[in-house]
Structure 1
């Protein structure tokens, strides 16, 4: 059974036929969550010798768990969420991206059962581009993209900001998010995992760093703390390190209160990578460790590379080293165990 599961995962990965990248670019660990014992005891997926696609998959019992289902539906998302065994306290925030005009965003219908289960609120922050640069415009985008039909919506920085300290980070001493974050005690970060779309890795590390930042917070991240007013670009490595700093701040600010879900549904590639093909549906993954979760998704996506040099080019282009930077400041671990809930 385990061998069949591993083979199935390999087959899924190699359907993602991606080749060659280039172009210009402009945690709580598993111990913080109580895994569902009946799932974890049966369906561990074992790495094969020289397992190419899932490079960071391990059997090390100290590694965090990533739960996996091929079922991309509201029910499938609930299966991986329940496997996490999150203890809910107080008000629940479901951190998503409402999506900019013309952007590929996650269908909120996928979170309908999660919303019902948690009695949560969809939360996001304002962005640099109109109409999402105001709370009113951002709410309008949430409404346009169907979030308000599924559950209540809150623009976190509609009424000002709050600073979150960064302890032992690379560049930032603090980052900044919306003041409404103080109204929530439990957080479920759900993201449509995006590669071959934008420069920075579009996973949950970004969802709780740049995407969680208020306008001022986004400026701090992009400028390595030098500017809190306007957009300013730092070099790639510095930007990735600031993403890690901001993610650490969010994790520490609500310590032990986060879980993370990535959806790898059919996705249209829109970056400048050479000969890229659109992603076919893969599944939904979840973890209490955002680094492990994003790394598992990277393994699914970039494991399709024809050789190590191609994979390295993709990873460089998409700043996958943010996961290495995040691991070094103890946000989470890149090596992971995987459990199927199917």
Structure 2
């Protein structure tokens, strides 16, 4: 099988070309213009960053992508879906305010923002994929309505999946709140009784009579629950929460299958920037010292190959002094060989995501790195 092409450039610039111009050239070299954008809606899947986090990609990069789409006759919009956890992006209004606060306004990026799964995270399309673990993926409706998907990914560490790369950005990031819950656990929520006030709003929204009020607190019958996530959206006290009890390999495999649901049947193009490589996801309201120096920018039509290439490049980099990775290395007895991401979060592993992505036909782990 022919290796997938992954195009790569460093962050080194010159008087003749700045980083934004370099990103445009990278996209062009990687074949961006092979896609027919004429009068097509192009979803640019990005992470706007949790409020308080400063490691997310600068909106300047998003403008390069949006402007290029418009140059080719397309109609771009930036998008992400609401979070499962409670934070500054749990509904569309808070999500938009956070995006604007972090610089992602139409004036700055040159295009509008559409929150993919709507006001409360319940606007979703059920996408049949008949995977090993997922039969119907729950993807944000606006993302599925797009003709073309472009992922613009900040490649960094992640406390559950080892690293947050392209597949994480597409698979987890494009899922509705119920879709995120399905990936993280068995797909059914639980009630935090300390927060629950027994108001009964969850009873009114549920079409399956799963919640009941017992001793002034809501209880969800998992035999009746279908995992739609609507109760999470309406709870005024954020007492209803999705679990996180899936084994890491299972989470990674579901994430790959959700990525397949997003990408199948339409043109997709993927960009990853390895900079400010924080140990944790941009969903955190803080960011720690980067674990490695900045690496570069990469682009490919193959999300699996792109993630594999990013991981390999990161693992060749020196460790940043004072970082979590540096501290963990000092505690370890064997410094001879290690994986930067596993060493940062020793309970994680990322290879199951790559392996499953190959298995289901999402992409190839074999790649040719073409430096421009």
Contact 1:269 1:279 survives alignment (8 Å): no
The equivalences for 1:142-153 within 5 A come to 142-148=99-105, 149-150=108-109, 151-153=111-113
Moved more, 319-328 or 71-80: 71-80
Which residue of the partner structure matches residue 236 of structure 2? none
* 1:184 counterpart = 2:140: no
Superimposed CA distance per residue, residues 95-124 of structure 1 (whole angstroms, 9 cap, x where no aligned partner)? 101111223311111222221111321111
Contact 1:210 1:218 survives alignment (8 Å): yes
Aligned length: 273
The equivalences for 1:249-264 within 5 A come to 249-252=261-264, 255-264=265-274
Superimposed CA distance per residue, residues 141-182 of structure 1 (whole angstroms, 9 cap, x where no aligned partner)? 111111112131111111621111123x22111111222124
TM-score, length of structure 2 as denominator length = 0.68
Per the alignment, do residues 280 and 127 of structure 1 end up closer, same or farther by CA in structure 2, a change over 3 Å counting? same
* 1:166 counterpart = 2:139: no
Which residue of the partner structure matches residue 27 of structure 2? 81
TM-score, length of structure 1 as denominator length = 0.73
Note the residue ranges of structure 2 that are not aligned, 5 or more in a row.
13-18, 71-75, 189-226, 230-240, 282-288, 319-334
SS of residue matched to 2:171: coil
Per the alignment, do residues 244 and 316 of structure 1 end up closer, same or farther by CA in structure 2, a change over 3 Å counting? farther
Superimposed CA distance per residue, residues 174-214 of structure 1 (whole angstroms, 9 cap, x where no aligned partner)? 1112221243211110011012x432120010111111111
CA distance in structure 2 between the partners assigned to 1:212 and 1:270 by the alignment: 19
Contact 1:220 1:228 survives alignment (8 Å): no
SS of residue matched to 1:331: coil
SS of residue matched to 2:156: coil
Which residue of the partner structure matches residue 83 of structure 2? 127
Per the alignment, do residues 114 and 312 of structure 1 end up closer, same or farther by CA in structure 2, a change over 3 Å counting? closer
Which residue of the partner structure matches residue 56 of structure 1? none
CA distance in structure 1 between the partners assigned to 2:187 and 2:360 by the alignment: 18
Which residue of the partner structure matches residue 243 of structure 2? 232
Greater RCO (Cα-Cα under 8 Å, separation 6 or more):
1
The structure that has the greater radius of gyration is: 2
Query: RMSD between aligned alpha carbons?
Result: 2.3
CA distance in structure 2 between the partners assigned to 1:270 and 1:114 by the alignment: 25
Superimposed CA distance per residue, residues 233-255 of structure 1 (whole angstroms, 9 cap, x where no aligned partner)? 21111111111111111122xx2
What is the CA distance between 1:312 and its match in structure 2?
A: 8.9
CA distance in structure 1 between the partners assigned to 2:257 and 2:165 by the alignment: 15
Note the residue ranges of structure 1 that are not aligned, 5 or more in a row.
1-60
Runs (4+) of structure 1 moved beyond 6 Å? none
Moved more, 223-232 or 323-332: 223-232
Per the alignment, do residues 270 and 181 of structure 1 end up closer, same or farther by CA in structure 2, a change over 3 Å counting? closer
